[in-house]
């Protein structure tokens, strides 16, 4: 008999089930699957390869269902592996569906990268959430030549991250390098002022009103193209 991981058991116990009535009877879903039907994705906890694969799969699935409809990506993460974050970021850019990002709790390190790379004018922070940015870190070990190779790679990653933050915030490279040099924590309002997000919201009505106005702008853009 397989020994149950206490952490796995803890998470499984806390994930509620939702019962849906259909013409074929009752169907039960875990709460995250139910939200996925509403085009809502959650990233909670650390950013690593397995989580990244699940998020990428959800993004691709939702695009296949409706490539023109927004996806809401809720982020509450302390960060993690940069390459795992890049996989999610590239998938967000790859699919045709616009991805709106929402920070709940915190978006730190790789979490802040995903937050700021949401669709422009559709990047949100809830009022009491926190955002943290910093340069990538590594734990190089081994021979001197191996450490040198890893050091060069992490410098390339830092340059790539800086370029992304410059593009997403509209800030100059020198400003980005300054805040990325060490852990820089921001309130939701500070993250908005810096350009990491577009809006700070407190209620669903706030968000709905902003999204409504944005939809009207998008329609006007489409008309002008024609």
First-to-final CA distance of the chain: 64
Contact between residue 192 and residue 200 where contact means Cβ atoms under 8 Å apart: yes
The architecture that CATH gives domain 39-202 is Alpha-Beta Complex (3.90)
Residue 31 confidence (pLDDT): 86
* pTM of the predicted model over 0.95: no
Site of tokens 């943290």: 132
Q: Is 11 noted as a catalytic residue in this protein?
A: no
Residue 49 confidence (pLDDT): 94
Mean pLDDT of 92-103: 98
Which of 31-35, 101-105, 125-129, 167-171 shows the lowest mean pLDDT across its residues?
A: 31-35
Residue 44's SS3 state is strand
Question: Which percentage of the chain shows pLDDT scores above 90?
Answer: 67
Mean pLDDT of 113-136: 97
Which of 27-36, 157-166, 190-199 shows the lowest mean pLDDT across its residues?
A: 27-36
- How far is it, in rounded angstroms, from Cα 179 to Cα 177? 6
Q: Is 109 noted as a catalytic residue in this protein?
A: yes
Contact between residue 72 and residue 40 where contact means Cβ atoms under 8 Å apart: yes
CA nearest 103: which of 84, 117, 83, 86? 117
CA nearest 32: which of 7, 49, 57? 57
Contact between residue 134 and residue 111 where contact means Cβ atoms under 8 Å apart: no
Q: Identify the H or E element spanning 214.
A: helix 204-225
Residue 194 confidence (pLDDT): 98
| 75 backbone dihedrals φ, ψ, rounded to 5° | -125, 125
Residue 185 has pLDDT above 70, yes or no: yes
All structural domains of the chain with their residue ranges: 39-202
Q: State the catalytic residue, choosing from 72, 100, 109, 129.
A: 109
C-alpha torsion sign, points 30, 105, 169, 155: negative
> In which band, very low, low, confident or very high, does the pLDDT at 147 lie, cut at 50, 70 and 90?
confident
pLDDT digits (tens, 9 = 90+) for 18-40: 777 777 777 777 888 889 999 99
Mean pLDDT of 145-169: 92
> In which band, very low, low, confident or very high, does the pLDDT at 9 lie, cut at 50, 70 and 90?
very low
- CB-based contacts of 32, cutoff 8 Å, min separation 6: 15, 42
Contact between residue 120 and residue 143 where contact means Cβ atoms under 8 Å apart: no
15: left (phi over 0), alpha (psi -120 to 50) or beta: beta
């Amino acid at each position: 008999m397989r020994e149950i991981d206490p952490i796995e058991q803890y998470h499984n116990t806390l994930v509620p089930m939702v019962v849906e009535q259909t013409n074929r009877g009752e169907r039960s879903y875990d709460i995250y699957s139910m939200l996925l039907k509403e085009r809502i994705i959650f990233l909670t906890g650390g950013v690593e390869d397995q989580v990244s694969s699940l998020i990428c799969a959800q993004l691709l699935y939702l695009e296949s269902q409706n490539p023109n409809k927004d996806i809401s990506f809720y982020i509450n993460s302390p960060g993690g592996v940069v390459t795992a974050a890049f996989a999610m970021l590239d998938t967000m850019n790859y699919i045709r569906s616009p991805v709106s990002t929402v920070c709940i709790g915190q978006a730190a390190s790789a979490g802040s990268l995903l937050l700021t790379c949401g669709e422009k004018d559709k990047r949100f922070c809830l009022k009491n959430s926190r955002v943290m940015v910093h340069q990538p870190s590594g734990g190089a070990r081994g021979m001197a030549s191996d450490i040198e190779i890893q050091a060069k790679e992490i410098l390339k990653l830092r340059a790539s991250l800086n370029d992304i933050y410059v593009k997403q915030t509209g800030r100059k490279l020198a400003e980005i390098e300054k805040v990325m040099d060490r852990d820089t924590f921001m309130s939701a309002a500070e993250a908005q002022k810096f350009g990491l997000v577009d809006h700070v919201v407190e209620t669903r009505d706030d968000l709905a009103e902003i999204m409504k106005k944005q939809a009207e702008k998008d329609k006007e853009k489409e008309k002008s193209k024609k």
